[in-house]
Structure 1
Amino acid sequence: MKRWLDKAETAIANHSDRLNAINIFPVADGDTGTNLYLTVRAAARALHSDPAGRGAAVPADAGQTDVGAVLARAGRAAMEQARGNSGTLFSVFLCAAAEPLAGHTRLTSTLLAAALNRAQIRAWSALSDPVPGTMLSVMEAAARAAAAVDAGHNGDDSNQALGKALDAAVNAALRAVVSTESQLAALEAAHVVDAGGVGMLLILDCLRSAVLGEGLQGELLDGLHGFDVQDPHIHADMPVDDGVEVMCTISLSPLSAATLRQRLDEIGESVIMSQVDSLADGEGSYRWRVHVHVPDAAPAVALIRSLGEPSDISLSELAMPRDPEPAPVNSSGHER
């Protein structure tokens, strides 16, 4: 899990500029690469600090052998620091994928299929209005392919079966990315594939690479429309999207969470809500990560505050692309 997320951090960093360049859905704000990188980085770095959160390096003999527990820790860190639609959905993916892996010390084909399926279901359900042709479709395709391979091996827990499931998942994810262009009118008109979908494909190939001990597939992105280095930044020519992206973390009862989702749906778009932790506090509330696009931030923030005390509130103008932070790039990523 650590090796996977380290590879993913580097791969997304290497490709953040091109992911930003083709980011035109749901809004053309050119920041999918940046948002996904910062979220993956949070997940990766959470596994290099001590569990108590003091920031110390984890000793090599720390005995962290529970695959699910390790991944859940990374998922919580990603959720708390998630950026944008893509980062939020990736953090949901991580948290959900960890659940079937809890208590296991190694990954198998059956566990991979279960983890990918749980993750794609949770990601679809986190959005109030999920749309095919996005990273959701890529997650779903990977899960279905892994499940089909696992079913054909009748519970074989060998590394060979796992390798075949991973190969199938990545290949299916690639086909799903290619299909995104024809699934969304905005992508078809611009002649590009979905940025979040490409990012998810890269992350899945990093998982394959980490588990099998093989290199990343450098040719994986060849031919994807809009993704060649010489291609222009498509998003720069798109109409400016007015509005604000509002994100926060907040503790809510199930009823308050349902109320917040309903009312955010009424005033905004791209509503994503997902639990940060699976356990309730002493008052029966759960921590939620909230994401929404609204015309004006004030009503949304007031609504959120009326139901609880939010933390980590971030407000970002959709019409103002955010520059990526300097990202380390090295030869272990999908460099082009």
Structure 2
Amino acid sequence: MQIKIAANAGAIRRWLARCEETLGNHSDRLNAINIFPVADGDTGTNLYLTIRAANRAAQENDSSDIGVLLSAASQAAMEEARGNSGTLLAVFLAAMAEPLHGAVRLNAPLLAAALRRAQIRAWSALSDPIQGTMLSVLEVAAEGAATADDALSGDDSNRALSIALDAAVEAALAGVVKTEHQLSELERAQVVDAGGVGLLLILDSLRAVILHQELQKDLLDGLAGYDVHKTHIHESMPVVEGVEVMCTISLSPLDAASLRMKLDELGNSVIMSPMVESEAQETYRWRVHVHAAEPEATLTAIRALGEPSNVTVSELRAATHDHADD
């Protein structure tokens, strides 16, 4: 049976556009179930704004090389990344691009390689990676695609790609369901991980675009906490204190390791990911993310090793907690 497939650079552009639309449509519900690592109710917004930057860059890039195209999109996403989830999404796109350089068409072996590379890069970007998050969903999605590819013995046909895409999405859905019981915070709140749901929507968008289909209407049915009629979960949670600091900085690998150690001492949720090599090939541009009690010591530690750009400091406080001031 012939399977209608669109797996070239044009399809990747349409994928990113579909992701922007889909995450925009789901941002409110993703925000509503966002309680880990901080219950600040912004995962949906962060994913949407990050993918929007990636999509804009992709639409302006006319390369037929899907690796080059995704690299351009990921660089824009990295510069505009918001929060934990947005930063990990940017890392996901950048890592996926690596095995795809030189390819003008996606196939099952390349999909498996791209997802596996994304899993490795995402786990290594975090100082303290934890199961029950979008990391674990990415892990099982990569395993699903790899298992399908192995069973197909590296078949690069359209049929094989269709099978691998379905396997990745099916595994991701199972991974999302499992998150509720992998983290005590999620189990107590009776919700699944918001970042994991976002990644599931991203993967199903890829499947839908490449196979010329729609998103699965019942994909999110029954996911714990995702019922739109339920009360906003943050109303019963304590106000979040502290700040989120993000920036871009050029560092040598040694200085980057030193900065990571210092940020681990000062805060948590540390994510550091290299963006691109400098012309001298001795330093890399890094995207840095950390949650800390206050910004001054964090920014001082960063500036001790270089001058950061694109610096943002945001309070870790959800709008849903405004009632606590009464």
Give the TM interval when normalised to the shorter protein: over 0.9
> Partner residue of 1:330?
none
**Correspondence list, 1:164-175, <5 A:** 164-175=163-174
- Amino acid across the alignment from 1:171: E
Any conservation in 2 of the 1:167–1:208 contact (CA below 8 Å)? yes
**Residues in 1 aligned to 2:58 and 2:110: alpha-carbon distance in whole angstroms:** 21
Separation (CA, whole Å) in 2 of partners of 1:257 and 1:67: 29
Provide the aligned length of Structure 1 versus Structure 2.
Answer: 310
**C-alpha deviation, 1:229, in angstroms:** 1.3
In structure 1, which of residues 12, 26, 33 is the aligned counterpart of residue 23 of structure 2? 12
Q: How does 1:259-270 map to 2 (within 5 A)?
A: 259-270=258-269
Query: What SS is found at the alignment partner of 1:272?
Result: strand
Question: What amino acid is the match of 1:303?
Answer: A
How much is the aligned-residue C-alpha RMSD, in angstroms? 1.3
Tell me: CA distance 1:251–1:213, structure 2 relative to 1, closer, same or farther (3 Å): same
CA distance in structure 1 between the aligned counterparts of 2:52 and 2:82, rounded to whole angstroms: 11
Of 276, 290, 293, the residue aligned with 2:291 is 293
Superposition map of 1:302-321 within 5 A = 302-321=300-319
2:45 is the counterpart of 1:34: yes
* 1:235-280 superposed Cα distances (whole Å, 9 cap, x missing partner): 2321112100000000001111000000000110000000111x23
Residues 79-94 of structure 1 aligned to structure 2 (within 5 Å): 79-94=78-93
Task: Give 3-state SS (helix, strand or coil) of 1:183's partner.
Answer: coil
Task: List structure 1 runs of 4+ shifted beyond 4 angstroms.
Answer: none
Q: Distance in 1 between matches of 2:234 and 2:44?
A: 12
SS in 2 for 1:270: strand
* TM-score normalized with structure 1 length: 0.90
Write the distance in 2 (CA, Å) between the matches of 1:93 and 1:65: 20
Q: Structure 2: which amino acid aligns with 1:214?
A: Q
SS in 2 for 1:136: helix
Paired amino acid for 2:59: H
Q: Which residue of 2 aligns with 1:190?
A: 189
The correspondence of residues 164-243 of structure 1 with structure 2, limited to 5 A, is: 164-243=163-242
8 Å Cα contact 1:270-1:292 kept in structure 2: yes
Which structure features the higher share of helix residues?
A: 2
Query: Are the equivalent residues in 2 in contact too, given 1:251–1:308 (CA < 8 A)?
Result: yes
Name the CA distance, whole Å, in 1 between partners of 2:181 and 2:262: 32
**Structure 1 40/213 Cα, relative in aligned 2: closer, same or farther at 3 Å?**
same
Q: Do 1:80 and 1:276's aligned partners in 2 also have CA atoms closer than 8 Å?
A: no
Deviations 1:205-250 (A, max 9, x none): 0010111111110110000011111122112321112100000000
Equivalent residues of 1:146, 1:166 under 8 A apart: yes
Q: How do 1:50-65 residues align onto structure 2 when only pairs under 5 Å count?
A: 51=61, 62=62, 64-65=63-64
In structure 1, what is the Cα distance between the partners aligned to 2:193 and 2:154?
Answer: 34
Q: Which residue identity does 1:129 align to in structure 2?
A: D
**CA separation in 2, counterparts of 1:125 and 1:160?**
33
Paired amino acid for 1:39: T
Over residues 167-210 of structure 1, what are the superposed CA-to-partner deviations in whole Å (9 max), with x where a residue is unaligned? 00000000000000000000000000000000000000001011
Task: Give, as a single letter, the amino acid of the residue that structure 2 aligns with 1:86.
Answer: S
User: Where does residue 253 of structure 1 map in the other structure?
Assistant: 252
The aligned amino acid for 1:12 is L
TM-score (norm 2): 0.93
Q: CA deviation at 1:283?
A: 6.5
The Cα offsets for residues 274-324 of structure 1, whole Å up to 9 and x where unpaired, read as 0111x23326110000000000110001111111010010000002449xx
Compared CA separation, residues 43 and 23, structure 1 to 2 (3 A): same
- Counterparts of 2:290 and 2:271 in 1: how far apart (Å)? 7
**What is aligned with 1:58?**
none
C-alpha contact (below 8 Å) 2:39/2:318 kept by paired residues: no
CA contact (8 A) 1:85 1:291 kept: yes
Report the Cα distance in structure 2 between the residues aligned to 1:6 and 1:219, rounded to whole angstroms.
Answer: 21
Higher RCO, Cα 8 Å, sep 6+: 1
Return the offset for 1:4. 0.6
